[in-house]
Amino acid sequence: MSSKQRGLWASIRRVAASDRISGLIMLGFALLGLLLANIPGTAHWFEELSHFHLGIPGTNIDMGIGHWAQDGLLTIFFLVVGLDLRQELTTGSLANPKAAAVPMLCAVGGMLVPPILFITVISLFSNFGAGDPGSLIIANGSTFSFAQTAHGWAIPTATDIAFSLAVLALFAKALPGSIRAFLMTLATVDDLLAIILIAVFFSSLNAWYWFVGIAVCAVAWYFLVRLKKVPWFGVAVIGILAWVMMYEAGVHPTLAGVLVGLLTPARAMYGERSPRAERYAQKLQPFSALLALPIFAFFATGVHFDSITPMLLVSPVVIAIIIALFVGKPLGIMITAWLSTHLGPFSMPKGLRVRDMFPASVACGIGFTVSFLIASLAYSNEELSAEARFGVLLGSLVAAAVAAVLLSRQSKRFAALKASDSSQLQYERSHEDVQTLQDGTVVILQTMGEDAAKELSELKDDTDDRHE
């Protein structure tokens, strides 16, 4: 690789490593997809592109490009998630469950409350809204039963770690690192729980022999990535086979990335400077942040509505998801944090109070990536799925906007407090008078005026008298 190519790759990696830049890129692609899917001049072209089919010969795999972005490209993102989880579980914040207990519990609480609010709102609309009791009318006038719409209960459970950290990076520069570490731990556990949800509730299992194939691929990956010289061609083949086996088994194929990521060594081997899981995650990060996630967001939000009207804003599904993300996430996190520290045996990180986490907990209401994925899996009806994804986009934007304001104010308070402490320390140091007496005693006095100077003089005279 030439020096020019290395410089270009280094620039790409810096962009991908920036939470704020990669987050804004993904948001831009999401809004572009929504726009192109609903502009009359581009809607037909976008639909043809999204449904243009590509298949793998000799398999049952034949999907449109939009579906490939969801089930194929997104596997790169989940592979990075799996590698990060492996590293965190081995040497990171999750390696010591006691120290990470509060954010881990908060992740659970933040995933329990949103479905409750979602079901509550849907139930209220079905009983007291327009239409027959037990049914709901969405924006385009279609009617669905309560049971059909309730299938989306898991949509608002996930937090998008990239976007939430991007908001922190943009608006909370003066906050202590403990808040970011708390959010990182919470979001990592949130990712793990979301993966379990997808595997348990959104998989339709097929023949048993595919699972044997998955196990064989897992064992092969485990040994190959532990060799002193890793055979990359063989590793790539095994990874692709694991993805195919997952698809054929009826498990969402992106979870193949999580599986092989968790089987990658997270401790340095053969005298290497850093663990392989950490290095592989860093190498794959640009492909995940700048390729897989933007393209997925482009097609995930590229849903065509019969007409974009104000009725979308009062659709039961849209309102339920917005409330669940914006209210349910921070509510679940804050209640759990308070209970675990006031009634339980745990404590917040040093220097933090429970209320300090409220702005960051609002940022956890940014669902985006995994919520988009669950929305497409939860609803088979295209219009219902489209409204759910629109609700995720709106709810995430509302949570991001409010979190930005709260974090900015909190950041200013911390900055002012830090400046005040710094000024006080500087003042105290400037008034310190250090004197060495004849007997070698070092005296440090913080002088506050003439009285302090007189006290020092008297002390010196008294010492001199004793030695005479």
Q: Which of 267, 444, 292 is closest to 369 using CA atoms? A: 292
Residue 128: per-residue pLDDT: 85
* Cβ contact 184:161 at 8 Å: yes
Residue 468: per-residue pLDDT: 45
212-218 long-range contacts (CB < 8 A, ≥24 apart) are 213/241, 213/245, 213/248, 213/249, 214/242, 214/245, 214/246, 214/249, 214/251, 214/256, 214/259, 217/241, 217/242, 217/245, 217/260, 218/242, 218/259, 218/260, 218/263
Range from 202-206, 274-278, 411-415 that averages highest in pLDDT: 274-278
* Cβ contact 340:97 at 8 Å: no
Q: Is it the case that residue 266 has pLDDT exceeding 70?
A: yes
Tell me, what amino acid is at 128?
Answer: F
Helix (H, G, I), strand (E, B) or coil at 51: coil
Residue 301: per-residue pLDDT: 84
Name the pLDDT band for 364 (thresholds 50, 70, 90). very high
Residue 466: per-residue pLDDT: 46
pTM of the model as a whole? 0.80
Identify the DSSP state of 55: E
Question: How far is 457 from 368, CA to CA, in rounded Å?
Answer: 69
Q: Is it the case that residue 102 has pLDDT exceeding 80?
A: yes
Diameter of the chain measured on Cα atoms: 105
Question: What is the average per-residue pLDDT within 281-286?
Answer: 91
Q: Which of 104, 120, 20, 160 is closest to 333 using CA atoms? A: 104
* Cβ contact 432:445 at 8 Å: yes
Per-residue pLDDT reduced to its tens digit, 163-219:
887 788 777 777 777 788 888 888 888 888 888 898 888 887 777 888 999 999 999
Q: Which of 140, 202, 164, 121 is closest to 20 using CA atoms? A: 164
Question: What is the average per-residue pLDDT within 66-88?
Answer: 90
What pairs with residue 55 in β-bridges? 62
Per-residue pLDDT reduced to its tens digit, 311-321:
788 889 999 99
Residue 453: per-residue pLDDT: 55
Question: What is the average per-residue pLDDT within 277-300?
Answer: 91
User: Average pLDDT, whole number, for the chain?
Assistant: 84
Q: Which of 51, 59, 91, 31 is closest to 396 using CA atoms? A: 31
